[in-house]
A and B are shown apart, each in its own frame.
Chain A
Amino acid sequence: MNTLSIKDRFRLNRFFAGENPSDEAIPLNQRRIFILPSKRGLSFVVLILLLLLIAFVYNNNLAYFLTFLLASVFFIGILHSYKALAGLIIQKGQCKPVFAGERAVFEIHIDNPIPVPRLSLEIDLHDKTQMTLAPYEKKAVRLYAPTERRGHQPCGTITLSSGYPLGLFRAWSPLRFNLSVLVYPKPWPQEIPFPETGGGASDQGKAEKGTDDFYGLQEYQRGDSIKRIHWKAYAKGQGLFSKQYSGEQGDELWLHYEASAGYGNEERLSRLCRWVLDAEKAGLRYGLKLPGQKIGLGIGHAHRARCLEALALF
């Protein structure tokens, strides 16, 4: 990470795509920051040439001086643009799974470790986000990206740029992190009845009825529905307990890949996804059977996530 071969240094791609993805925090230095004049900078050059022509034709020394002053301002603008980004430390943050079609949210942390404010930063992933950083400020930035297909979707190149102070130059730094979002299949758009399963003729109606019969308390486990927490006991300081219902034991739902015969692979996964979500919502214990893969019966957040991940990566 700290060394870069000569060959790599001159790779043109580095200017736009950034270096190899990183896990670490990336401090912005001369290796990471690229600077080129913006369109406005180029028109500023035209202005300088025009002023030079005026000074030349009229042989006017103060016009010359104004021209040279603006030329110097332009020139040292390079240093100032570098300063606009230099020293910032960028670190990757968390990224929660989303369903295909939703926007993925990538979180990155930008740290300004010096006592100089950064007044105009632009972060570009798919949309541009503008921000400022006060001296010593550390900010989390959420970047959005559209998702289309299930699976791991890497967060592409994040470009951090700034036109500060005069907008004549654009300093930018393409950053790549080992950061990807897990994209679940898109849930089937309409509600569909649960498939018939061999384990017991349970349907949605029955399951709902089953939840009425209180059976007992069980120690709270991660993933248990918040609705079932026995709040009274918690209020008395006896700890967290989940209520158990008698109907539940029988309400086992097996979600088969084969249950959606006649559909294509993606559509099947989409339907399964829908069922997982519905089953979770209905409070059913459900399991997932995919060709070559089986996830046992369960319920709760973690279980749901496991099932959806299996669907996403299938």
Chain B
Amino acid sequence: MLASIEKNILLFLLISVGLIALPHIYHIPASIFGFFVLLLTWRFIGIWKPSCLPGKLLLFLLTVGGLVLLYSQHQGLFGRDAGTRLFMTALALKLLEIRQERDLYLIVFLAFIVAASQFLYEQSIAMAGYILFVCCVLLGTLVAINSRRQNTLNALKTSAVILAQALPLAIVLFVFFPRVEAPRWMLFEDKSRAKTGLSDSMEPGSISDLGFSDELVFRVRFQGPIPPNAQRYWRGPVFSVTDGKRWTAAKRYTYTAAAEPDFSEPAYRYTLLLEPQNNNWVFALEMAGDFPPQLHMNSEYLLTRSGNPDKRAEYPFTSYPSYRTGELSGHKLRTNTQLPGPASQKITSLIKRLGGFDTRPEQFVDRVLQHFNRENFSYTLTPPLMEDNPIETFLFETRSGFCSHYAAAFTYLMRVANIPARVVTGYHGGVLNPVGNFLEIRQADAHAWTEVWLENRGWVRVDPTAAVAPERIEQNVNIEQQIASRNISFFSADSELARQLDWLKQARQLWSSVDYNWQRWVINYHSANQTQFLASLGIESLKQMLYWLVGLGALFTSILSWLLLSRKEKTADKVLRCYRRFCARLGKAGLKRNAGEGPLDFAKRSKKAYPKQTEAIDEITGLFIKLRYQKESSQADLSRLSERVDQLKIRRR
């Protein structure tokens, strides 16, 4: 009953529920979050004024209200957003209906689900630490429910100890639990959710965390040599229209045919096996010369296919990395120098400083790239949010971002300096599978770069990300690996600033190393990754994996059992065992200890029966009582007791 649930337990529970829901303020509509906060506050007040808690009718109405709210904001029944909203609403409603201990458990369980849903939105170290802390509080609530007369701080301590003990086992499970990718039908479509892979627009400032999945996009098998990594740009959608934040494709070019560029050798012939996609784009190596007739190339050199993108398809291509495109039409020139508005003073002065407006475009391009390279720009997969004026924020304040940030900022600077430029997205690189001798391009290889139009050369690819993190472009490795293992320098060595900010640089590098390892080993530890890692340990089959899982699990369990159970009880047990031995000896001789007979009474009786042993009996009894009932007993007493019992000689009566 309600009365029996203590106030401090409720308080504890409500605080942890509040904490667990807090980060969702960014993820769910304000109305639903408001509903949650309202109900939580109501429940808080209800701790001190139980009379104001809603009755059955009101609770029913609230439930209906919650459902209406869910429906009005509906995103379908399944999927991340819908699920999160549903669980939040259920949690809020359940808070107002706490009658028994069972209800507390249900709330804690729901809170755990909400905790897990946080990870579907953000997977940073900070979030993981936060959720771990809140889970500790939630478990503490369970401990408090299950212990009488214990203060909540102690309960928290107990739950922290339990969590700490569970950690090694959880890590073993995490490493060895086989990861299988979910079948496609299980992936609920979320309309509002940024899909993995390329999208039809780009908005760098609004993404704070580039989820990179290991999902395969396509495979390429070359006939002949494979182009170097620096040339492996797989062209996708081109964005030339911007409002300052968002970059989209110019609609009018979507279906106009391309004027074929002039190609020069070498040529690469290959077949491309495209996995099922969300869009009908086909990602060919820049620049595709020959392609099958069922594909269409628009005037921005994007290949599209007609028909269902859900099916796997194979296409033969011939691509030429060196090419020259033609003149720019007047309309195209306007589109590719389009700006959302006049550039700010800061931007123009930066451009002037870098020699914009009065040098040759090629030179300006180089200077901007140098600017990225020399100043403390850094490459990160988890940049801060830049909600308004993302380009300026990026260029002058945060200075950290991933390829989209660099491509967008670079294109913008070019356009302000009257150089036609556009953003190209697609994939870059790809990993050679030595067994099949083909390249695998995964979603994690998604990339964005820039094209500038230069006199006599046409559209030229410039990759500003390469200026910051050249390793990503030149070598056949992921930037994420580089950041950690080789300490990419975001500063050039002779920069004055770099020397001054040496400690800052080191801290940054340390952090990016930590962040990289987190991304690589925790967030991105998926099936391919796992197989690779375990193979490096010599674990190759699923069977071996399970052996290790069970073996290490058993090892940790036994260590833990030993730590938990072997201590403390030992002395008490030994004392009792010694005394039992004493009683058994006397019992054998014919003097049985009666049920419920205290040690002193028994001693009296045995002394009467064996007057010769009076001294020994007295000492044994005395030691036993001391060890058993007094706190200040020592190990020496125990060994003495054991000794005396062994020496005791009693002849049968």
Contact = CB atoms under 8 A, between A and B. Distances in A.
Interface of A: 23-25, 27, 40, 43-44, 47, 50-51, 54-73, 75-77, 79-80, 82-83, 86-87, 89, 91-94, 113-116, 119-120, 130-132, 136, 138, 163-168, 178
A236 B441 CA distance: 109
Contact of B123 (A62, A115, A178): A62
B131 A166 contact: no
B177 interface: yes
Contact of A79 (B523, B565, B631): B565
Contact of B109 (A43, A82, A86, A116): A43
B119 A166 contact: no
22 contacts: A23-B595, A24-B595, A27-B573, A58-B182, A59-B179, A62-B127, A62-B131, A63-B116, A64-B177, A68-B173, A72-B170, A76-B165, A79-B560, A79-B565, A83-B564, A86-B565, A89-B572, A114-B572, A138-B629, A163-B146, A164-B143, A166-B142
Contacts of A50: 113
A76 B166 contact: yes
Interface stretch (B9-17, B59-67, B147-155, B226-234): B147-155
A73 B170 CA distance: 9
Contact of B173 (A40, A71, A83, A136): A71
A57 B186 contact: yes
Contacts of B338: none
Interface residues of B, number: 68
Interface string B446-459: 00000000000000
A108 B131 CA distance: 45
B116 A73 contact: no
A26 B297 CA distance: 86
B22 interface: no
A54 B128 contact: no
Closest 6 CB pairs of A and B: A113-B572, A119-B147, A72-B166, A23-B595, A72-B169, A68-B173
Contacts of B525: 61
A65 B174 contact: yes
Contacts of B188: 57
Interface of B: 80, 83, 102, 105, 109, 112-113, 115-117, 119-120, 123, 127-128, 131-132, 135, 139, 142-143, 145-150, 158-159, 162-163, 165-167, 169-171, 173-174, 177, 179-182, 186-188, 213, 522-526, 557, 560-561, 564-565, 568-569, 572-573, 576, 595-596, 628-629, 631
Contacts of A130: 148
Contacts of B127: 62
B131 A132 contact: no
A136 B123 CA distance: 46
B576 A89 contact: yes
A113 B569 contact: yes
Contacts of A68: 169-171, 173-174, 177
A201 to B, nearest CB: 47
B465 to A, nearest CB: 26
A82 B557 CA distance: 14
B163 A73 contact: yes
A75 B162 contact: no
A91 B596 contact: yes
B148 A120 contact: yes
A64 B159 CA distance: 20
Nearest to B175: A68
Nearest to B169: A72
B126 to A, nearest CB: 12
B213 A59 contact: yes
A60 B120 contact: yes
A51 B565 CA distance: 31
A167 B163 contact: no
Contacts of A115: 568
A178 B595 contact: yes
B522 A61 contact: yes
A119 B186 contact: no
A68 to B, nearest CB: 4
Contacts of A54: 83, 113, 116-117, 120
B123 A60 contact: yes
Given A64-B174, A86-B565, A167 B117 contact: no
B148 A55 contact: no
Contact of A114 (B116, B139, B557, B568): B568
A58 B120 contact: yes
Contact of B167 (A58, A60, A64, A72): A72
Contacts of A178: 595
A224 B182 CA distance: 87
B569 A86 contact: yes
A70 B169 CA distance: 10
A47 B139 contact: no
A119 B145 CA distance: 11
A39 to B, nearest CB: 8
Contacts of A138: 629
Given A44-B109, A66-B135, A69-B163, A166 B120 contact: no
Given A72-B169, A72-B173, A94-B596, 7 more contacts: A27-B576, A43-B105, A47-B113, A50-B113, A66-B116, A66-B131, A86-B569
A202 B61 CA distance: 79
The residue among A68, A93, A165 with the most chain B CB atoms within 10 A of its own CB is A165
Given A91-B596, A120-B146, A70 B112 contact: yes
A27 B173 CA distance: 36
Contacts of B177: 64, 68
A165 B158 contact: yes
B628 A113 contact: yes
A308 B179 CA distance: 75
Contacts of A58: 80, 120, 182
A82 B567 CA distance: 14
Given A51-B116, A73-B139, A79 B123 contact: no
Residue from the set A51, A67, A93, A119 with the largest chain B CB neighbour count within 10 Å:
A119
Contact of A87 (B117, B163, B573): B573
B174 A51 contact: no
A114 B565 CA distance: 12
Nearest to B526: A59
Contacts of B170: 65, 68-69, 71-72
Nearest to A132: B148
A60 B181 CA distance: 10
A80 B564 contact: yes
A47 to B, nearest CB: 5
Contacts of B564: 79-80, 83
B3 to A, nearest CB: 16
Contacts of A63: 116, 119-120
A93 to B, nearest CB: 7
A76 B170 CA distance: 11
Contacts of B522: 61-62, 65
B568 to A, nearest CB: 5
Contact of B524 (A61, A76, A116, A136): A61
A100 to B, nearest CB: 25
Contact of A60 (B119, B143, B148, B169): B119
A157 to B, nearest CB: 18
Contacts of B628: 113
Contacts of A69: 132, 135, 163, 166-167, 170
Most chain A CB within 10 A, of B83, B119, B526, B557, is at B119
B577 to A, nearest CB: 9
Contacts of B213: 59
Nearest to B123: A62
Contacts of B524: 61
Nearest to A93: B596
A275 to B, nearest CB: 33
A123 B162 CA distance: 25
B572 A166 contact: no
Contacts of B139: 73, 166
A68 B549 CA distance: 12
A165 to B, nearest CB: 5
A75 B146 contact: no
B148 A119 contact: yes
